[in-house]
């Protein structure tokens, strides 16, 4: 299909418009060199997935930048320890690049474990540590034996690929922690469900702005025990005992599907894909869990009551906002396509039509699904860049952008409202109350009087 704007030669199959029939968008390929992709790297993927584990030591084995740029990168809250908020790096210098960094890694790990007494340690490989051939596995095994805690090498050298390759490396590290014989630590949630026979793990929820706590409170109200959250407000002890849950409930499928599948194969724990963005998706998530535990009718009854109550309260808040936003057009560009799907629906709920939607790392199924839920003509893009995004925004006349830090200035320079749906958010956007917050955020940006001065 011809586009009304120029595209780089190598990018033409990754930009399409939704229409009847299959979308056939190309995806899951390396970024075109020089395209100014918004993607990060494999290292980043491993780092963001494991980052919220609050009682672990996170040591980046590489030059200083890799650690500096991932220090406090997510607003992942902890109810207890905050070791994850510190940034540790072996800070490799020329000497180590020439002679190897294993000695420095050993010494850094040993002294940091001595000082901070973590429940486990994650050691992240980087481009440099991979290229110089450091045997980080051997160092980790040695320190683990000496210190008596799990010390895990996370192999996601930046050049290995996109965040997705890093997610997989993170999942492998998590999987190696799970021990079917491990006892659950004392329950941190609502004591009323501590002995509940219906128990789940929440996967792919990172407790940004306390979102995991909101989700957990829903399940607990349903009478379901939340055995472990991976990895929001995460604790090594709970991750180790994750095999004790009856069901894995997976959000952010891009990051955690691998772990869910592996846990099904290895421990026989089934899983369900869900999303907590938007009223409909949140309700569906709770009902999916209630269905799974249908032998306990009480769970389903409580889920219905919760959804009815919360959805009605949220609806009442959303109605006046919808009246104000009706007819606006949105552009969405986020990391994972699964979230993009929820956002299209959530925006529709407040009267906003999506005219552009894309992601850094979506797969074929994600994009086909997106194509079916979007209005015909909606642009769907994979691994896009500032030039494409600004051209499509102009072409479609979008007036609101939903994205992350790197998309924000594109939106602002072009005179669009913007809602940050990324790692750094301070306001919970998940669950019923999150949907209300999301609507308020969109409203605050779309209706601001400053655009009268900035556009034009």
Partner 1 sequence: MADASLGAAAVRAIESFAAATRDACALCAPLGATLAFAGVRGGMTILHGSQGCATYIRRYAISHFREPLDAASSGFGEEAAVFGGRDNLRAAFDNVVSQYRPEFVGIATTCLAETIGENAASVRAALADLAAEGGPLVAAASTPSYRGDQREGFRAATRAIVEAACPPSEAVPASSPRPLAALAPGEAVGPIAVFPAMLSPADLRELKRLFLAFGLEAVLVSDISDTLDGGPWKGEGRLLPRGGTGVESLRGLSKARYAIELGAAVEDAASGAAYLAAAFGTERISLPLPLGVEATDRLLGELSRLSGKPIPEGLRAERERLVDSYVDAHKAVFGARALIYGDPDLRDGLSALCAEVGMRVLQAVDGGRGFAEIEAAAEDAAAAGEGADLLIGNSKGYKAAKKLGLPLVRVGFPIHDRFGGQRIGTLGYRGTQELFDRIANAIIEKRQEESDVGYTYF
Per CB under 8 A, which of residues 359..398 are in contact with partner 1?
Answer: 386-387, 390, 394
Ramachandran angles phi, psi of 335, nearest 5°: -70, -55
* Residue 409: CB minimum distance to partner 1, A: 4
Interface with partner 1 (CB under 8 A), residue total: 73
- Contact between 176 and partner 1 per CB under 8 A: no
Instruction: Give dist(CA 58, CA 67) in Å, integer.
Output: 10
- Contact between 108 and partner 1 per CB under 8 A: yes
Do 129 and 64 form a contact (C-beta atoms < 8 A)?
no
Instruction: Give dist(CA 211, CA 229) in Å, integer.
Output: 11
- Quick one: which of 52, 62, 150, 210 contacts partner 1 (CB under 8 A)? 62
- Contact between 149 and partner 1 per CB under 8 A: no
Task: Identify the burial level of 3 via C-beta atoms within 10 angstroms of its C-beta, where 0-12 means exposed, 13-18 middle and 19 or more buried.
Answer: middle
Q: Which is nearer to partner 1, 213 or 379 (CB)?
A: 379
Instruction: Give dist(CA 335, CA 74) in Å, integer.
Output: 14
- Contact between 42 and partner 1 per CB under 8 A: yes
- Quick one: which of 78, 162, 227, 275 contacts partner 1 (CB under 8 A)? 162
Instruction: Give dist(CA 217, CA 232) in Å, integer.
Output: 14
Q: Which is nearer to partner 1, 227 or 385 (CB)?
A: 385
Query: Minimal CA–CA distance to 393: which of 406, 378, 383?
Result: 378
CA R_g for the chain: 22
Residues 6+ positions from 248 with CB-CB distance below 8 Å:
200, 201, 203, 259, 260, 263, 264, 269, 270, 271, 272
- Contact between 83 and partner 1 per CB under 8 A: no
* Residue 8: CB minimum distance to partner 1, A: 6
- Quick one: which of 107, 176, 372, 448 contacts partner 1 (CB under 8 A)? 107
- Quick one: which of 19, 22, 24, 30 contacts partner 1 (CB under 8 A)? 30
- Contact between 248 and partner 1 per CB under 8 A: no
- Quick one: which of 63, 234, 254, 336 contacts partner 1 (CB under 8 A)? 63
* Residue 13: CB minimum distance to partner 1, A: 15
Q: Which is nearer to partner 1, 114 or 195 (CB)?
A: 114
- Contact between 27 and partner 1 per CB under 8 A: no
- Contact between 4 and partner 1 per CB under 8 A: no
- Contact between 408 and partner 1 per CB under 8 A: yes
- In Å, what is the CA distance from 194 to each residue of 39, 81, 189, 227, 398? 41, 22, 7, 9, 48
- In Å, what is the CA distance from 417 to each residue of 244, 396, 400? 45, 15, 4
Return the SS3 of 58: strand
- Contact between 14 and partner 1 per CB under 8 A: no
- Contact between 448 and partner 1 per CB under 8 A: no
* Residue 204: CB minimum distance to partner 1, A: 21
């Amino acid at each position: 299909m011809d586009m009304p704007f120029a595209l780089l030669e190598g990018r033409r199959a990754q930009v399409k418009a939704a229409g009847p029939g299959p979308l056939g968008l190309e995806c899951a390929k390396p970024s075109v060199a020089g395209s100014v992709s918004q993607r990060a790297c494999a290292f980043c993927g491993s780092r963001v997935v494991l980052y919220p584990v609050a009682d672990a030591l996170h040591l980046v084995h590489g030059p200083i930048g890799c650690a500096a740029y991932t220090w406090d990168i997510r607003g992942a809250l902890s109810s207890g320890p905050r070791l994850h908020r510190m940034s540790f790096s072996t800070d490799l210098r020329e000497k180590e690049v020439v002679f190897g960094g294993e000695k420095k890694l050993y010494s850094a790990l040993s002294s940091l474990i001595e000082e901070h007494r973590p429940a486990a340690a994650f050691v992240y490989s980087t481009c440099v540590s991979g290229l110089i051939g450091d045997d980080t596995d051997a160092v980790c095994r040695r320190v683990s034996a000496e210190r008596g805690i799990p010390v895990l090498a996370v192999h996601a050298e930046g050049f290995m690929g996109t965040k997705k390759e890093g997610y997989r490396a993170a999942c492998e590290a998590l999987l190696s922690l799970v021990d079917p014989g491990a006892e659950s630590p004392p329950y941190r949630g609502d004591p009323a469900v501590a002995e509940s026979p219906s128990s789940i793990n929440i996967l792919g929820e990172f407790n940004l702005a306390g979102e995991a706590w909101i989700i957990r409170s829903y399940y607990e109200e349903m009478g379901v025990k939340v055995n472990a959250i991976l990895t929001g407000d995460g604790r090594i002890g709970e991750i180790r005992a994750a095999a004790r849950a009856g069901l894995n409930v997976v959000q952010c499928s891009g990051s955690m599907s691998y772990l869910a599948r592996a846990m099904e194969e290895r421990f026989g724990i089934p899983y369900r894909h869900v999303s907590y963005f938007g009223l409909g998706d949140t309700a569906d998530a709770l009902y999916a869990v209630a269905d799974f535990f249908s032998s306990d009718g009480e769970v389903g009854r409580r889920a219905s009551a919760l959804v009815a109550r919360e959805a009605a309260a949220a609806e009442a808040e959303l109605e006046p906002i919808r009246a104000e936003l009706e007819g606006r057009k949105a552009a969405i560009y986020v990391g994972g396509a699964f979230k993009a799907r929820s956002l299209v629906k959530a925006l529709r709920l407040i009267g906003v039509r999506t005219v552009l939607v894309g992601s850094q790392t979506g797969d074929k199924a994600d994009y086909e699904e997106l194509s079916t839920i979007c209005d015909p003509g909606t642009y769907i893009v994979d691994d896009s860049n500032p030039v494409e995004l600004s051209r499509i925004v102009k072409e479609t006349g979008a007036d609101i952008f939903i994205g992350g830090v790197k998309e924000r200035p594109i939106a602002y320079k072009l005179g669009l409202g913007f809602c940050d749906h990324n790692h750094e958010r301070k306001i919970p956007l998940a669950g019923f109350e999150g949907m209300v917050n999301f609507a308020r955020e969109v409203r605050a940006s779309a209706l601001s009087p400053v655009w009268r001065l900035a556009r034009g």
